[in-house]
Structure 1
Amino acid sequence: MKHVQSADGTTIAYDQIGHGPAVILVDGALGSRAFGFLVPLATGLSPHFTVIIYDRRGRGESTDTQPFALEREIEDIEALINEVGDEAFLYGISSGAALALEATVKLGHKVKKLALYEAPYDSDAARKLAFRTYRKQLVEVLAEGRRGDALGLFMMFVGMPPEHLEGARQQPMWPMWEAVAHTLPYDAAALGEDGSVPTEKATRVPVLTLVMDGSASFPFMNTTAIALAKAIPNGEHRTLEGQTHEVEAKVLAPALVEFFNT
């Protein structure tokens, strides 16, 4: 494990494997190195790249500095880029894809290329309203220190039936998820005010961008990916066959190697 200090003094913990041009992997909601979700992907990329997996602020072994703002997480990514060189490829999954997009707009050509997998934007009117309600409820329960309730709100927002929530609380992973539930507003911030597809902002992405979704995932993910790829000046869309939101590293890694090396 290594550490780098972000602009506001926050310590960002990260692992580094492989050799070659740098690739920074940006995890989604609740993700941290402790879960190991990105390790198979990093392993698949490591013969070609120097791969960075990091704990987003407030998670794992990274610290946090208040007050939070989306710009702070962009500064964290910039600190990692500066640590490994002057530029890096950037890959983000789920809400981490939204953060990676925001970082690329801000950091410009410090990001060599950008790859996104299923950024969960949704421009449906009902979902935009639900997203606003979810963000408001998150603030309320976390202000009272109710991380478990915040986690429950998140799980129901992404589709878990309320009657399944008590069973989820009994899962061995629940305490680890609950420990980082206070960072859920950070993911919400990356998705914007109402979670809709940021087509205007996407026009300001200055680098080649691969926007991906899975053919077995939620239908709105495909709609979103196509809209993003069309809005990004140098955007390319690709659907990974048979993949859900939990994309398999053995399918994703070759797609990223091809894109980053082309």
Structure 2
Amino acid sequence: MSSFATSSDGTRIAYDADGSGPPVILVGGAMQFRGFDSNTVAMAKLLAARGYTVINFDRRGRGESAQAPSFTLADTIEDLRALIDAAGAPSALFGSSSGGSICLAAAAAGLPVTAMVLWETPLGEELGTDSAANLAGLREKLAAGDGDDVIAYYMKDMPPEWLEGARSSPGWPVMTSMGPSLEADTESLAWTQSAPRAELWASIQAPTLALVGEQTLPIMPPAADSIAANVPHGSTGVIPAANHSWEPDVMATRIAAFLGSLA
């Protein structure tokens, strides 16, 4: 049965907590929530078995956290603040894809974050304008109210076969229902280009591991290198993985090894 944390605007955030030990909060990227992402559900249980309290939550606008008045990056940071309070202690964060840029923004905002593992965060060029343009375009699509167009726009820079596969899958209606929540993903990526990253991330004291897969998209290794170079305590790593996805046991093992090295 789900537990719930209440964010600062009254939005109820649904989550599962598995295991006992230092808390780790899993921050999903685009299209991820507990009922739609069995990989992360499985990884949460495997990581919990390694001695952690693992919190896997539905971001606002998704799953059991579907009802919310707005979906900004600031809203999502407040949701994380509520989850950290529910955990009862400063927490490590695992950010998947654009969930990684949300984690960086949360840590820079001063949330009590002990460490971060960031998986293939798709950062554009430092000080670039592409993500800001994407945010403006996404907001136009959201205002027009066509869920199909919102998802197609969000995925326009991804390999075309990903969008084709999504459109033909039974999960497409679920994806289109999540459109409003993609504002926080896009806004967080735009934020990473809004100023020199060393300045944006100077206050982040949490040790941060930026991971990529052995087979990955060209954007990902430079993005991981940029994270490691610009957070005060950053490093990079490579795991056996491909197509922006990973095996639950591989990821749980890597997260536990990194967090264990800091103990």
Could you state the TM-score of these two structures normalised by the residue count of structure 2?
A: 0.89
Pairing of 1:96-111 with structure 2 (within 5 A): 96-108=99-111, 110-111=112-113
Corresponding letter in the other structure for 1:136: A
Pairing of 1:177-188 with structure 2 (within 5 A): 177-188=175-186
- Aligned residues, how many? 257
Could you state the TM-score of these two structures normalised by the residue count of structure 1?
A: 0.90
Cα pair 1:132 1:194 within 8 Å, conserved: no
In angstroms, what is the RMSD of aligned CA positions?
2.2
Q: State the alpha-carbon separation in 1 of the partners of residues 189 and 164 from structure 2.
A: 28
Cα pair 1:215 1:244 within 8 Å, conserved: no
Q: Report the equivalent of 2:224.
A: 225
Q: Report the equivalent of 1:158.
A: 158
What secondary structure does 2:155 align onto? Answer: helix
What secondary structure does 2:190 align onto? Answer: coil
Deviation at 1:122, TM superposition (A): 1.5
What secondary structure does 1:23 align onto? Answer: strand
Corresponding letter in the other structure for 1:44: L
Q: Report the equivalent of 1:22.
A: 23
Q: State the alpha-carbon separation in 2 of the partners of residues 232 and 25 from structure 1.
A: 20
Q: Deviations over 1:67-114 (max 9, x none)?
A: 443221111011111111121111101000110111111134x21111
Corresponding letter in the other structure for 2:13: I
Deviates more, 1:62-71 or 1:185-194: 62-71
Q: Percent identity?
A: 34
Q: Report the equivalent of 2:236.
A: 237
Corresponding letter in the other structure for 1:131: S
What secondary structure does 1:61 align onto? Answer: helix
The answer to whether structure 1 residue 42 and structure 2 residue 40 are counterparts is: no
Change (3 A) 1:61 1:124: same
Cα pair 2:241 2:247 within 8 Å, conserved: no
Q: Report the equivalent of 2:174.
A: 176
Q: Report the equivalent of 2:117.
A: 115
Q: State the alpha-carbon separation in 1 of the partners of residues 198 and 213 from structure 2.
A: 21
The answer to whether structure 1 residue 88 and structure 2 residue 83 are counterparts is: no
Corresponding letter in the other structure for 1:257: A
Change (3 A) 1:216 1:105: same
Deviation at 1:150, TM superposition (A): 0.5
Q: Report the equivalent of 2:215.
A: 216
Q: State the alpha-carbon separation in 2 of the partners of residues 67 and 58 from structure 1.
A: 9
Deviation at 1:219, TM superposition (A): 2.0
The answer to whether structure 1 residue 190 and structure 2 residue 193 are counterparts is: no
Cα pair 2:122 2:220 within 8 Å, conserved: yes
Cα pair 2:210 2:224 within 8 Å, conserved: yes
Cα pair 2:131 2:189 within 8 Å, conserved: no
Deviation at 1:190, TM superposition (A): 1.1
Q: Deviations over 1:169-201 (max 9, x none)?
A: 232110111111121122101112585883431
Segments of structure 2 that go 5 or more residues without pairing to the other structure are: none
What secondary structure does 1:233 align onto? Answer: coil
Segments of structure 1 that go 5 or more residues without pairing to the other structure are: none
Change (3 A) 1:34 1:204: same
Deviation at 1:135, TM superposition (A): 2.3
Deviates more, 1:247-256 or 1:6-15: 247-256
